[in-house]
Structures are given as C-alpha cells and as structure tokens.
Amino acid sequence: MLGPPGVGKGTQAQQLSKEFGIPQISTGDILRDAIQKKTVLGEKANTFMSRGELVPDKVMLGIIQETLFSEHAPEGYILDGFPRTVAQAMGLQKLFEEHNDTLSAVLSLEADENQIVRRLSSRRTCQNCNALYNLLTMPPKIEGKCDVCSGELYQRNDDRIETIRNRLRVYKQQTEPLIGFYKSLGVLKSINASGLPEEVQKNIIGQLED
Ligand code: AP5
C-alpha cells in the first residue's frame, strides 16, 4: 500500500486482510508498539516519528527482514507503510529475490491534500487492536471505546497539524518517487481514494482482479 499519510492505507489494508485472509504488516504499527513497550527500537524511532520524519532505512529494512520471513503467510501478506524510500524498495526487491518471493501489486492511493489533513486531524485509533476510526466519517458506537474490543481510543502523537504538514512534505520528497519506480516494474495500480471507504475498497478489488 503506497500513498500519503492519511490517505486510507491502514483502513483499506485492514479490510483487505479480512477479505483475503492474509496478514497486514504495518511498519507504523510495529514502531508504535515498540514505543509503547519502551524498547530500544521504540526510543530510537520515537525521535523521528514525533517530528514526522522517516526512521532510517537500515533500521526499517532490519524490521522487515525479521517480520516478513518469520510470519507464516503462505498466501501472502499486505505491506502497509513499507517501502517508503527508493533504498527501502531496492532492499525489498533483494529480499524477495533471496526468498524466491514476488510482489504482485503496488496500490497507490490518491486523494486531495485538504481531505487528507481533515481525515488525520479527526482520526482515532484503538490502543489495543489498532482498529481505525474517524470522528467525522467513522465514529465509534460508544465515544472513546473501540467497537471491536472495547479498548481505549487515542489520538496519535503525530496527528498534530504541524507534524501532519511535515509528514506530507517528507512523503513528497522521499516516498512519491516510488510511484515511478513501481510503474517501471509494471506492478503499479493507481487508486482514487477520495470516496467512501467501501467505494475505495471496491475500486481496489476491481483493479486487483484486472
Ligand atoms: P504510518 O503509521 O505508516 O503512518 P502514515 O503512512 O503517515 O499513514 P497513516 O497511518 O497516518 O495514514 P493511512 O494512510 O494509514 O490512513 P488511515 O487508514 O489511518 O507511519 C507513521 C510514522 O512511522 C512515519 O511518519 C515514520 O516516522 C514511521 N515509519 C513507518 N513506516 C516507515 C518506513 N517504512 N520507513 C521509515 N519510517 C517509517 O486513515 C486516516 C483517517 O481517515 C482515519 O481516521 C480513517 O478512519 C479515515 N479514513 C480512511 N479512509 C477514509 C475514507 N475513504 N473516507 C473517509 N475517511 C477515511
């Protein structure tokens, strides 16, 4: 899943994971979990994430190498938030070659920047199961509680307006070049992600079946 912060990668990846019965691997969730557990990785990642900057490529490739090939996922998996730089994408290609694996599709989600800022500033996430909500478009049934597991909902530290702006700048500089990279490999699928979540999901499944 490729796309700017807040475009709906996590929302769509969670749905696709249910639809296809394959795991979602979110590098953002892995890092936030490490921060919560106060591990060495978490402390290191926190300094970058709180500023809206990317965690160094070497650290991220290490995490992916550990996670991807220790997961038992014979039917495949959905990568959400990785790769995010050309160096990460090249590292991933190398890992695929070493493990005889392939990348079947890269879903590039697109939406207008004002819509993205609105989505992010009203996002809430479950502390326990990472389910996603939005106070404007997808509110929980009970205020502050997750519909799925009754866990507490929280607002992410990097969803403050000045950090959102920096994340969008970082996306343009460091991640957007991946669109050309994956286009040249013939695996890129552009998805209009400005509609309702169900419409975006339909659009994705249609493109995957093409
Ligand atoms: P990460 O957690 O991956 O954040 P992100 O890419 O910035 O993306 P978001 O999770 O903010 O948004 P999303 O696109 O998943 O949208 P969502 O579905 O939640 O990364 C966080 C940080 O970790 C990075 O800044 C970096 O520091 C570090 N990091 C992670 N991976 C890294 C890597 N590979 N390399 C280096 N550093 C890395 O939706 C947003 C909101 O909109 C929600 O409230 C949702 O309910 C709502 N919504 C979703 N879709 C719709 C819709 N169609 N209509 C209306 N509302 C919608």
- Catalytic positions: 9, 84, 123, 156, 167
Residue 71 has a pLDDT of 66
- 159 within some domain: yes
Q: Residue 31 Cα, ligand 1 centroid: separation in angstroms?
A: 13
CATH code assigned at 185? 3.40.50.300
Q: Give the range among 10-14, 57-61, 73-77, 97-101 with minimum mean pLDDT.
A: 73-77
Ligand 1 pocket, 10 CB below 6 A? Answer: yes
- 39 within some domain: no
Instruction: Tell me, yes or no, if the pTM score tops 0.85.
Output: yes
> To test the ligand 1 pocket, which listed residue (11, 79, 121) has its Cβ within 8 A of the most ligand atoms?
11
| Tokens standing for residue 173 | 């500089």
- 19 within some domain: yes
- 55 within some domain: no
Ligand 1 pocket, 175 CB below 6 A? Answer: no
Instruction: Say if residue 112's pLDDT is above 80.
Output: yes
By percentage, how much of the chain surpasses pLDDT 70? 99
Ligand 1 pocket, 133 CB below 6 A? Answer: yes
Rg (CA), the chain: 16
Q: What is the pLDDT of residues 124-147, one digit of tens each?
A: 999 999 999 999 999 999 999 999
Number of domains in the chain: 1
Q: Residue 80 Cα, ligand 1 centroid: separation in angstroms?
A: 9
Alpha-carbon distance 145 to 154, whole Å?
9
Mean pLDDT over the full length of the chain: 94
| Higher per-residue confidence, 54 vs 98 | 54
Instruction: Give the domain range for residue 158.
Output: 9-23+74-209
Ligand 1 pocket, 47 CB below 6 A? Answer: no
By percentage, how much of the chain surpasses pLDDT 90? 90
Using 50, 70 and 90 to split pLDDT, how confident is the model at 207? very high
Q: Is the dihedral of CA 72, 77, 80, 86 positive or negative?
A: positive
Instruction: Say if residue 15's pLDDT is above 70.
Output: yes
DSSP character string of 22-61: --EEEHHHHHHHHHHTT-HHHHHHHHHHTTTPPPPHHHHH
- 43 within some domain: no
